[in-house]
């Protein structure tokens, strides 16, 4: 455990070093949201609300261009301005803000990972999420629900125990609670009399959260804009300009934009954009489906994960049951998946909760995940100088603030922060993979 001991004070230092790096003042926040502004604008027939961000024409040249206007990209723009004082930045998005896979995830924020580099990264992200609404002045509707994983095999229990130990080293709680406690917490749950997989135990992460995913993108966009970052929508990248092994700008549907540095924060199209830069990445794109029932009154609080069936269920703030499972098992850019996943996962959920069998499904969608070979993020320099990538690895919503912050650090300093030292692209050639599983485990 020498490495864990070495890392433990490191974590404190890492977080301190992050706090030290500047808090450049906001140039202008057009409007603040509070109960008073709500009242004032209600009295004024809501005519006083302003646009939350400008919609500027792209300039000819920026210090940094971030490709991708989802949570990760907008966050990177915000942290570049706030932490590093780099304000001549454009975040360019081919559609509308947060309209890609930021809009297509299932809102869960958790940190139950098994490898030493993963836990502090995800824990740090959760810590940022807890403060983010206040920091951005924008309600992300972060809701600390807790997460219960149903352990349905001794293998799953062993993995959970290992996770609990790794997480304990970093001060994260992951507790075994037993079947009786699951029943106490979930009055609606009665273990089925003849289950396919017997429920052996439960493990609980009290700090797991849900948040309003769109609001994360919008909150970052608003504050990035307030710091002087240009947020440019309907601007698709069609080429990456290079000169002698160095990036010089991007070609877009709205003309050429020169840039000293370019950061890539696209989900689901990582390989496509990287190919424009002449790079190949160790990723495959896979659809991750989720579907939502009609809304009902609150019946349970926690995020429920059924490890044996590889699926999960939670109840959103609106009262809908949100259900999802593993990724569809082949690469796809189609933003839709196969019916068999829906059928298998729904069957598994109904086996555990037959009471929901009469509920109707309202909506269904598939997000696209850039699945990295080892399931961990890539936040890294690339062989093309000045070109940086932020690839989520499996699901990227939970890591949004930390990944964005680390991406901004990497772009500003051209060196990775030690929190992401193990998430470089070079780990594959060096054989230092960080294999992680999770719900969408596919290897």
Partner 1 sequence: MLVIPCPHCGPRNEDEFVCWSEVVPRPADPAALSDLEWTDYVYNHANPRGWVREQWWHEHGCRRWIIVERNTLTHEVARTEPAPR
Nearer to partner 1 (CB atom), residue 68 or residue 202: 68
Among 137, 178, 206, 331, which residue interacts with partner 1 (rule: CB under 8 A)?
Answer: 331
**Residue 406 in contact with residue 263, Cβ under 8 Å?**
no
Residues 420-439 that bind partner 1 (CB under 8 A): 428-429
- With CB under 8 A as the rule, give the number of residues binding partner 1: 23
Between residue 335 and residue 374, which ones bind partner 1 under the rule CB under 8 A? 338-340, 373
**Tally of CB atoms within 10 A around 240:** 24
The β-bridge partners of 393 are 371
CB of 338: closest distance to partner 1 in angstroms?
Answer: 5
Q: State how far the Cα of 409 lies from the Cα of 392, in Å rounded to an integer.
A: 16
Site map (CB under 8 A) of partner 1, residues 404-423, x = contact: --------------------
333 binds partner 1 (CB under 8 A): yes
Grouping H, G, I as helix, E, B as strand and the rest as coil, residue 183 is helix
Tell which positions 214-273 bind partner 1, by CB under 8 A. Answer: 269-272
Our finding on whether 329 is near partner 1 (CB under 8 A) is: yes
Binding of residue 43 to partner 1 (CB under 8 A): no
- Considering the complex, state which of residue 340 and residue 413 has its C-beta at the smaller distance from partner 1: 340
Taking alpha carbons only, the member of 128, 108, 117, 119 closest to residue 167 is: 119
Interior/surface letters 41-74, b for 16+ CB within 10 angstroms, e for the rest: eeeeeeeeeeebbeeeebeeebebbbbbbbbbbb
CB of 433 to partner 1, least distance (A): 9
381 lies in the site for partner 1, by CB under 8 A: no
Min dist. Cβ of residue 158 to partner 1 (A): 26
Which residues is 388 bridged to in the sheet?
Answer: 263, 381
Counting contacts by CB under 8 A, is residue 101 touching partner 1? no
Per-residue interface string for the shown chain with partner 1, residues 278-307, x marking contact by CB under 8 A: --xxxxxx----------------------
Give the C-alpha separation, 136 to 276, whole Å: 34
User: Is the Cβ–Cβ distance between 228 and 81 less than 8 Å?
Assistant: yes
Integer Cα distance of 380 and 372 in angstroms: 13
Summarize as ranges the residues that interact with partner 1 (CB under 8 A).
269-272, 275, 280-285, 329-334, 338-340, 373, 428-429
């Amino acid at each position: 455990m020498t490495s864990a001991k070495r890392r433990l004070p490191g974590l404190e230092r890492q977080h301190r070093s992050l706090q030290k790096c500047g808090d450049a003042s906001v140039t202008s926040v057009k409007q603040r949201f509070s109960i008073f502004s709500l009242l004032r604008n209600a009295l004024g027939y809501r005519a006083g609300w302003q646009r939350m961000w400008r919609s500027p024409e792209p300039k000819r040249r920026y210090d940094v261009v971030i490709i991708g206007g989802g949570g990760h990209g907008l966050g990177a723009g915000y942290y570049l301005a706030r932490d590093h004082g780099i304000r001549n930045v454009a975040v360019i998005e081919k559609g509308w803000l947060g309209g890609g896979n930021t809009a297509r995830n299932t809102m869960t924020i958790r940190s139950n990972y098994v490898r030493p580099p993963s836990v502090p990264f995800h824990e740090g992200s959760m810590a940022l999420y807890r403060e983010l609404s206040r920091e951005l002045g924008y309600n992300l509707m972060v809701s600390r629900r807790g997460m219960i994983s149903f352990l349905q095999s001794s293998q799953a229990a062993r993995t959970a125990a290992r996770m609990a130990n790794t997480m304990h080293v970093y001060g994260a709680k992951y507790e075994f609670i037993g079947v009786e406690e699951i029943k106490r917490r979930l009055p609606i749950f009665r273990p089925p009399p003849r289950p396919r997989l017997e429920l052996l135990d439960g493990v609980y992460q009290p700090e797991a959260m849900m948040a309003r995913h769109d609001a994360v993108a919008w909150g970052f966009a608003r504050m990035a804009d307030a710091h002087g970052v240009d947020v440019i929508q309907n601007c698709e990248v069609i080429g990456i300009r290079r000169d002698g092994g160095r990036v010089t700008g991007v070609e877009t549907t709205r003309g050429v934009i020169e840039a000293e540095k370019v950061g890539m924060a696209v989900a689901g199209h990582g390989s496509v954009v990287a190919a424009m830069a002449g790079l190949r990445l160790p990723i495959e794109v896979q659809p991750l489906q989720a579907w939502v029932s009609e809304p009902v009154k609150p019946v349970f609080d926690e995020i429920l994960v059924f490890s044996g069936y590889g699926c999960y269920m939670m109840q959103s703030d609106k009262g809908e049951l949100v259900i999802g499972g593993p990724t569809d098992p082949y690469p796809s850019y189609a933003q839709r998946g196969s019916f068999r996943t829906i059928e298998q996962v729904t069957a598994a959920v109904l086996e555990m909760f037959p009471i929901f069998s009469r509920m109707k499904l309202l909506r269904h969608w598939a997000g696209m995940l850039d699945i990295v070979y080892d399931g961990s993020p890539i936040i890294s320099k690339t062989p093309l100088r000045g070109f940086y990538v932020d690839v989520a690895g499996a699901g990227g919503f939970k890591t949004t603030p930390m990944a964005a912050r680390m991406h901004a650090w990497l772009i500003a300093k051209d060196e990775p922060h030690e929190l992401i030292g193990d998430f470089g692209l070079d780990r594959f050639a060096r054989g230092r993979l960080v294999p992680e599983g999770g719900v969408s485990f596919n290897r």
